[in-house]
A and B are shown apart, each in its own frame.
Chain A
Amino acid sequence: AQKVTQAQTEISVVEKEDVTLDCVYETRDTTYYLFWYKQPPSGELVFLIRRNSFDEQNEISGRYSWNFQKSTSSFNFTITASQVVDSAVYFCALSEAGGTSYGKLTFGQGTILTVHP
């Protein structure tokens, strides 16, 4: 069975601080995808990034960066110089790759990030 754990329930920072959101996953599959989604106060789910199990290259997109380490089964998300607009709930998710698995995501519990001005 797959499992995603986001141990940080809530994080509070002051604007311009860097913050890292942790994600640890469990799967028996050798081929899988990892995702991060953002849920702002308006409630919609916004896709941020996808990483497949064969690609451990870290990714940077503006103030966002992601660190994928298969050795520790982690896919952590760092926001550099946080802004108030980053305040949201962030979800890490996992799916198998291939076959009938693409539509089946296993989500972590979510981390509520609050950025204070």
Chain B
Amino acid sequence: NAGVTQTPKFQVLKTGQSMTLQCAQDMNHEYMSWYRQDPGMGLRLIHYSVGAGITDQGEVPNGYNVSRSTTEDFPLRLLSAAPSQTSVYFCASSYSGAVPEAFFGQGTRLTVV
């Protein structure tokens, strides 16, 4: 059971480039989310999804785009990378009801130069 899988683990982008961070989960969880972690700020919610075809914005959505075509996958797109998007990105999934805790992928360390 792989849990939540994120790729890539590391990425360096030039300002203005676009890329997609991949996230897949095999636990049949309804809820999936993307967070960014910056020093001294904890993790902040970028976008989340409550099921296939349904997404919504979190606290810091600007510059990011998401879609959810299947229950398993929730990719995060950076449209035009900026140095302010240098961060560690975490994907998470969770199941409603009796098991509401989020399970996280291993993270993607992104540097924008």
A interface list, Cβ under 8 A from B: 4, 6, 9, 33, 35, 37, 43-45, 47, 50, 91, 93, 95, 97, 100, 102-110
Given A44-B104, A45-B90, A50-B100, CB of A107 within 8 Å of CB of B42: yes
Q: Give the distance in Å from the alpha carbon of A108 to the alpha carbon of B37 in the complex.
A: 11
Asked if B94 and A103 make an inter-chain contact with CB atoms under 8 angstroms apart, the answer reads: yes
**In the complex, which of the residues B49, B95, B102 contacts A105, with contact meaning CB atoms closer than 8 Å?**
B102
- Interface secondary structure of B, over-half rule: strand
Return chain A residues, CB-CB under 8 Å to B30: 102
22 A-B pairs with CB atoms under 8 Å apart are A6-B42, A35-B101, A35-B102, A43-B106, A45-B104, A47-B101, A47-B102, A47-B103, A50-B100, A91-B42, A100-B50, A102-B96, A103-B48, A103-B92, A103-B94, A104-B48, A104-B58, A105-B33, A105-B43, A105-B102, A106-B45, A109-B41
